[in-house]
Amino acid sequence: MDITLNETQSLVQETARKFAGADLRPQAASRDESAEFPLESLAKMAGLGLMGVNIGGEYGGAEAGVVAYSLAVIEIAQGDPAVAVTMAVNNMVSEVIQQFGTSAQRERYIPRLTGGEYSSGSFCLSEPGSGSDAASMRTRAEKTSDGWSLSGAKAWVTSGAYAGVLLVWAKTRNTAGLDEISLFCVDPKADGVAIGKPEKKMGQHASNTVSIAFDKVELSDDALLGEPGQGFKIAMMALDGGRIGIASQAIGIGLEAFNQARAYAVERRQFGKRIADFQAIQFKLADIATELEAARLLTMRAAWLKEQASRPFSREASMAKLYASEAACRACDQAIQILGGYGYTREYPVEKLFRDVRVTRIYEGTNEIQRIVIARDLIRQS
Ligand code: CAA
């Protein structure tokens, strides 16, 4: 793996960095207070190619690859983590349609997702009673004479109230009468779709998270994405890629906390000198920077492997997500410690970062699930 960035990767990184600095960071605290969904910023990001970084140019994507995508999420997360997760889910939804959709589905949905006509797409896998055990879902699509009838309930749907298309996983029955899992593209405005109230979360207030109920929603045959029964594998493959996105988001949040803590440490004076001159603070800064760099390398490796498309990268993606989210949580915690009492107030951004980062150890598979994915792969290889 070559760890120097090519021209495209550097350009995407720089574009995202400038946008995060000029457009996102200055508004992040007020967006957090108002919990306002960042419609305008997302439209601008679509214009910059950030809503489909690893999507083909024919569908309006930047066609810049997975490493560039990860670099972009790291930068956007430094500006506003809530915007980064919205971006990451949109990219993931677009990639699922690109990889498994028919040409009609690709042409219908992807340019709208990458070009900003849709503010976002949504990934509807989890349910009130089915989280880590994704295969235990109860949402069901019954075959009808001219399509499907979808009923059930999904939970924790990122961007669900603003999505242009919902990817919905549901149980279906195969010709032998056995249950399997299939995937459908659902119009959020269809009759029978009810979008719930936004969840009141600890952090990432400007990202929208809702439950969605489906009551006998009529779907045509061409709503099926991929083959019948292929849904679970598609979900797992999508989450392998999604976990690179969450690892990247966590790194961005950790880096932002580090930068805030370092800036404070060189300004703040106690006992007649800068607190950055005390070894207690220096060791904290050194540990945060080292762990985030290790997380970055793990994440770049997973992104690079995905880009090669030569072998599965589940283990590496799970390692990246596990390590990056835990390192970023430690970074935010230590950043608050460096800022002392000020870090515990909303006057300084580390309080928000601490709230924003916590969920990276939970969503797109809890870190306990990441350990299961890693361990199963290690045992398989033995
Ligand atoms: N790629 C391809 N296929 C895969 C796969 C992968 N990464 N992982 C599993 N599969 C296949 C298996 O090979 C197996 O296929 P066969 O039946 O042909 O053998 C099938 O899928 C079932 O696999 P498992 O037996 O491993 O399934 P399991 O029920 O034991 O579950 C799990 C495995 C890893 C625990 C899985 O349920 C899981 O990932 N759970 C976490 C769910 C999750 O991450 N949810 C996040 C929600 S989305 C979200 O948070 C987004 C957001 O909005 C931010």
Q: What single letter denotes the amino acid at residue 117?
A: E
Integer Cα distance of 118 and 112 in angstroms: 5
Residue 382: the pLDDT is: 85
- Asked about 364 being catalytic, the answer comes back as yes
Q: What is the DSSP letter of 143?
A: E
Integer Cα distance of 276 and 285 in angstroms: 9
Query: Of ligand 1's atoms, which has the minimum distance to the CA of residue 122?
Result: 53
Instruction: Look at domain 232-380 and name its CATH class.
Output: mainly alpha
CA–centroid distance, 233 to ligand 1, in Å, is 7
Q: Collapse the DSSP code of 104 into the 3-class scheme (helix H, G, I; strand E, B; otherwise coil) and give the result.
A: helix
Residue 224: the pLDDT is: 98
> For 131-166, how does the pLDDT look when each residue is reduced to its tens digit (9 = 90+)?
999 999 999 999 999 999 999 999 999 999 999 999
Residue 3: the pLDDT is: 82
Q: State the CATH architecture for 124-230.
A: Beta Barrel (2.40)
Ligand 1 atom 29: the closest Cα is on which residue? 135
C-alpha angle 93-95-99 in degrees, rounded to nearest 5: 125
Instruction: Look at domain 7-120 and name its CATH class.
Output: mainly alpha
Query: Of ligand 1's atoms, which has the minimum distance to the CA of residue 233?
Result: 3
Query: Of ligand 1's atoms, which has the minimum distance to the CA of residue 232?
Result: 21
Pocket lining: 257 vs ligand 1, CB cutoff 6 Å: no
Q: What is the DSSP letter of 199?
A: P
Residue 124: the pLDDT is: 98
Whether the CB-CB separation of 103 and 76 falls below 8 Å is answered with no
CA–centroid distance, 49 to ligand 1, in Å, is 30
CA–centroid distance, 243 to ligand 1, in Å, is 12
Ligand 1 atom 13: the closest Cα is on which residue? 233
Pocket lining: 123 vs ligand 1, CB cutoff 6 Å: yes
The stretches in the chain having pLDDT less than 50 are none
Q: The pTM is what? A: 0.98
Alpha-carbon distances, residue 62 vs 49, 92, 201 (angstroms): 5, 14, 32
User: Which residue spans of the chain are classified as CATH 1.20.140.10?
Assistant: 232-380
Tell me which of 95, 316, 326, 364 is the catalytic residue: 364
User: Which residue spans of the chain are classified as CATH 2.40.110.10?
Assistant: 124-230
